[in-house]
Amino acid sequence: MKPLLIYPTPKKVEYMEGTSKKTSEIVKIHKEYKNEEEYRIEIKDDTIKLFGSDVGLFRAETTLKLILSQCNLRIPNLKIKDSPDFSVRGVMLDISRSKIPSMDTLYHIIDILADLKINQLQLYIEGFSFAYESFPDVWKDQTPVKGEEILEIDRYCRERYIELVPNQNSFGHMGPWLAREEFKDLAECPEGFEFQGTFIPTPLCLNPLDDRSFDFVKTLYDDLLPYFSSDKFNVGCDETLELGKGKSKSLCEEVGVGRVYKNFLMKIYEDVKRRGKTMMFWGDIILSYPELIPELPKDVIALNWGYLSTQPTEASCKIFKEANIPFYTCPGTASWNSIWGQTDQMITNIDNAARYGKKHGAIGLLNTDWGDNGHLQYLPVSYAGFAYGAAMSWNTRKRSENYNNLPRYLNKFIFEDESELMGNLVLEAGLYHTYEEIKQNNITNLVRVLYSPLDEKESVKGTTSEHIASRIYPYINKILYSLNETKMKCKDANLIIDEYINSGRMLKFACHLACYKLGYYGLLDSFPDSDMTKDEFKSVLLGMQETIMDEHKRLWKIRNRKGGLEDSLRVVTKILPDN
């Protein structure tokens, strides 16, 4: 009997001589180990013994489920000794950038994460994706998650030994609130601000010197926190881009931007502590002022994030370690701003987070899945990132096994693909950007083209229609053709195929948009032969867009709430004005 696929890779598996019946008696033996999630499995003499604490036994049962699913009448005699490298192995889902999953979708995701031995989930909230009781007018026309639903999600998570941690941005990323007239005066720069040479018309950051800002944040907490059982709370506070450029400018010039930032963070800390919770916060801003980090309380948790292939850096981990500040490393799935993902970036980003986090004593790894710019990527694009992040945070040293077995796990346990192709296809799909001549940070160039106005040309400087037609477009087609060869048996198999087909249409549409910008007016399937005029080609592009958007609407409503759909459509449809 060949070795079984167990994912995440266990610390130690010892195969013994002989086999036992698949229907062998299962004996659970409660045993406390130093690591509460450690478990043991012994299979021999037609008996299956599981050892561990309550959560350890749950992990053992999860592994046993994988074993039994791969065997017919007999299972190999074996011993497994296993425990995680990171005490916290989390996933953060962005439910605020346009896409708010339905309850059924959230349950489905939680089940996938539980099978991967994930033990923390955060639902990222900015704007109006939660039904705040104090502010019913802001979400009355939306479809937010309600408090009663949070209670149910919390219960569902706890039954699977997953901690649902509240996540509410509280300083930067307040754009949806500050865009409203009744909150605009709370902004650092109510009329917008300059950032890296670009004017941003919408205020994003609260004015930390206004007591009303703090009162507003506390009201958000009052509405949100009662529905969570967790003793942790992620208050966000990242990317305070305009801090010091508006109402706090004088004080920032006097004492420094970092000091003003830290003072407001500490006001939040005191309030969170008063509520009996441990404060988590994104660590990007405080890392810009490392001299302030030793001043932080030792009972916070810094979230050291970075999503590029060079991040998170080892240096940033060392800074928190040397200051004795507990921290998580926070990589990402690289699904956003890509349509099909960026597989290579996802792998190296998670590798860095696991390796440097473990080396420098991180207490957790939180794998983020964002939805920037309309959340155009469909859910299955994130599955590979979920699985690989779970595997590396469970067993960092088994990098080779975690990487090599990733497509096998996706094939067998996520997609249930009898052809054993889909797992490889989703990883290969996430490599289309490697054929692009123009390299971007945290976004593929095709998606940059897709987001840009039709007559904008900057996004195609450095590439040619010939390259797109000969390298990128055929690669996308190859992936789409290969979908026909899959034989998935998972419940949503047809939906997954439709999602990959429509996302492929988006990328092919972006290829044609790029060629339009470059002055080639024709279909890439017949490149370089075209007899279309510019206006004729624009009409063809409009037809492509309508097909994509009609299907996007249909697919969106299957997994998600309707609120946010128009925002998602607007991101793309603004590319092709009716002119």
Residue with token string 């490392």? 290
Residues 355 and 443 in one domain: no
Residue 529 lies in a domain: yes
Residues β-bridged to residue 560: 101
* CATH assignment of the domain containing 53: 3.30.379.10
The answer on 485 and 433 residing in a single domain is yes
Co-location of 476 and 516 in the same domain: yes
Domain finish residue from 82, 116, 141: 82
Q: Which parts of 273-323 are beta strand (E)?
A: 278-282, 301-305
Q: Which residues pair with 194 in a beta bridge?
A: 199
Task: Indicate whether 99 and 73 sit together in one domain.
Answer: no
- Does one domain contain both 151 and 261? yes
pLDDT score of 2? 74
Burial of 408 (0-12, 13-18, 19+ CB in 10 A): middle
Residues 101 and 123 in one domain: yes
Query: For position 395, which CATH number holds?
Result: 3.20.20.80
Domain boundary among 51, 82, 113: 82
Domain coverage including residue 267:
88-404
Residue with tokens 């229609």: 465
Give the residue from 82, 115, 140 where a domain finishes: 82
List, for residues 418-449, the tens digit of each pLDDT value.
999 999 999 999 999 999 999 999 999 999 99
| 365 and 217 inside one domain | yes
User: Are residues 218 and 122 both part of a single domain?
Assistant: yes
Tell me which residue of 337, 386, 336 sits closest to 366, measured CA to CA.
386
In a domain, 340, yes or no: yes
Cis amide linkage into residue 8, ω under 30° from 0:
yes
pLDDT at 305: 98
Q: Structure tokens of 150?
A: 């949070």
Would you say residue 536 lies in a domain? yes
What's the confidence (pLDDT) of residue 3?
Answer: 86
Own/partner contacts of 125-129, CB < 8 Å, gap of 24 or more, are: 125/95, 125/96, 125/166, 125/167, 125/168, 125/169, 125/224, 126/96, 126/168, 126/169, 126/173, 126/174, 126/175, 126/176, 126/236, 127/96, 127/175, 127/176, 127/177, 128/176, 129/95, 129/96, 129/100
Which DSSP string do the residues of 369-432 spell out, in sequence order? E--TTT--S-GGGGHHHHHHHHHHHH-GGGHHHHHHTHHHHIIIIIS-BTTS-HHHHHHHHTTG
pLDDT at 530: 87
Question: Is residue 5 assigned to a domain?
Answer: no
Per-run averaged pLDDT (10 residues), the chain, 579 residues:
91 97 97 97 98 98 98 96 98 97 98 98 98 97 96 98 98 98 98 95 97 98 98 98 98 98 98 98 98 98 98 98 98 98 98 98 98 97 98 98 98 98 98 96 96 93 97 98 98 98 97 96 94 92 94 98 94 66
Say yes or no: 359 and 388 in one domain. yes
Task: Return the structure tokens found at 317.
Answer: 């981990």
> Which residue from 539, 558, 430, 538 is spatially nearest to 494, judged by alpha carbons?
558
Q: Does residue 296 share a domain with residue 180? A: yes
Q: How many domains does the chain have?
A: 3
Same domain? For 393 and 276 the reply is yes
Edge-to-edge strands of the sheet including 327-330?
163-165, 120-124, 88-94, 364-369, 327-330, 301-305, 278-282, 232-234
Q: Is residue 291 part of a domain?
A: yes
Q: 417 lies in a domain?
A: no
pTM: 0.97
Q: How does pLDDT run across 41-95, given as a tens digit for each residue?
A: 999 999 999 999 999 999 999 999 999 999 999 999 999 999 999 999 999 999 9
3 located within any domain: no
Taking only the tens place, the pLDDT of each residue in 17-45 is 999 999 999 999 999 999 999 999 999 99
296, containing H or E segment: none
Query: Are 77 and 96 part of one and the same domain?
Result: no
428 in any annotated domain: yes
